[in-house]
Each structure stands twice: as structure tokens, then as C-alpha cells.
Chain A
Amino acid sequence: EDQVTQSPEALRLQEGESSSLNCSYTVSGLRGLFWYRQDPGKGPEFLFTLYSAGEEKEKERLKATLTKKESFLHITAPKPEDSATYLCAATLIQGAQKLVFGQGTRLTINP
């Protein structure tokens, strides 16, 4: 069964304290690996798409990386406004563009 698992479930950091979020996936043929940010009560906001192992993408304080079994979202010197739930999702080679999501990591940055 296609599965995406994120860890930790929740993470609390001090402002400026860098860390990483993990997303491991077991899918039958990965087409793309996605990271979204979701604020409470709102829809997910697209951050990155990764397609192949070794690929990296950056946006401000965020950097996403991909290996054959997992993806990491690195957060460098975070600010309170980076507080949100970060969702990882995979889409498969076979079939339509269905996204398989992890349960998310709830990130809190304290000032």
C-alpha cells in the first residue's frame, strides 16, 4: 500500500534554531514529492516539488531535499511567522494525479 509518514508530529523551536522535518515514503513508483505549508483553517500552500533523488530546492529559509526513500525539509534560522503545519505528499507514476499525504508536522517557532 502506498504510504507517506512524517516525523515528528510536532516540533517546537526557538527563533533562530535550525532543524529538519522528515518525510518517508513507500510508494509504487514516485512521480513527484511535494511539500505544502498549511495555516490553521486554511488550504495547503504549495512550496516545492521534487522529482528525483539528489534534487534540492530552496525558498527563503526553507530547503527541501529528496533521497530514494525520504525527503527532508530543512528550516534555517526560523522566524515566528514560519509557524504552521508542513505537509508532505507523493504522487505516483501510475494512475491520475492523486496526492498521498502524510499526517503533517506541526511546527511552532517561539520568539
Chain B
Amino acid sequence: DAGVTQSPTHLIKTRGQQVTLRCSPKSGHDTVSWYQQALGQGPQFIFQYYEEEERQRGNFPDRFSGHQFPNYSSELNVNALLLGDSALYLCASSYQGGVTQYFGPGTRLLVL
């Protein structure tokens, strides 16, 4: 049973560029959440997708946007990258009605 997968594993971008990160949820899961984790900090909630719609959003600017596809996979897009966007981006999946979220390995983004 495949767990949560994310791609790419690492990414280097320059300020002002745009980036797309991808996530495939654990088998049987229909809900995807995205988190940003700065070095030495706990993950911060960005947003959650269910039935291809954004259900809840954390305190992140509109530069952060997402999408969920009919097969439940998801993308996170970040526009106009800033140095402060450098972080580990984590995807977590769960099923609607469940409580526990399972995390993928993350994508390490470095903005230069």
C-alpha cells in the first residue's frame, strides 16, 4: 500500500519565479492538506482540499494557491517567490470523516 508521495524532492528557484509542487495521497484517502515547515519550526497549515475545492485556508497570502484533481492528487503553486518561502513543503492526506493525517516525505524548496 503506497503512502503519500510528493515530487520533486528538492527544488532551487530564484526570487520572483513560480513553482508547482505535487502530491499523491495515500490509497483510499480523499482529502489533502499542505503545510510549510521552516527550519527548526513546526509545520504551518497552508490549506486543505476536498472534493476539488479549498475547504480551509491558513494565514498565507494569495501567492499560494492549489488544486485538487478528480483522482484526489493535488498541486501547490507559489507565485512571485520570496527568500522567505524557502522551507520544507509537506503534503498530508486523510479521508473525510477521519481524523489522522499521514504525511509525505516533503519537497525542500530553496529560493535564491
B99 touches A42 (CB 8 A): no
Q: Would A32 and B42 be within 8 Å (CB), given that A95-B56, A98-B56 are in contact?
A: no
B43, A99: Cβ atoms closer than 8 Å = yes
A99 close to B90 (CB less than 8 A): no
The B interface is mostly helix, strand or loop, or mixed, namely: strand
Assembly CA distance A98 to B45 (angstroms): 7
Within 8 A of B (CB), among A23-52: 31-32, 34, 36, 41-46, 49
Residues 45-89 of chain B, each 1 if its beta carbon lies under 8 Å from chain A, else 0: 100101000011010000000000000000000000000000010
Size bracket of the A interface: 20 to 34
Q: What's the tally of chain B residues with a CB closer than 8 Å to chain A?
A: 30
- B5-56 interface (Cβ within 8 A of A): 6, 31, 33, 35, 40-45, 48, 50, 55-56
Is B48 in contact with A98, judged by CB distance below 8 angstroms?
yes
From B33, B44, B106, B108, A97 is in contact (CB under 8 Å) with: B33
Q: Tell me which of A91, A95, A101 contacts B43 (CB under 8 A).
A: A101
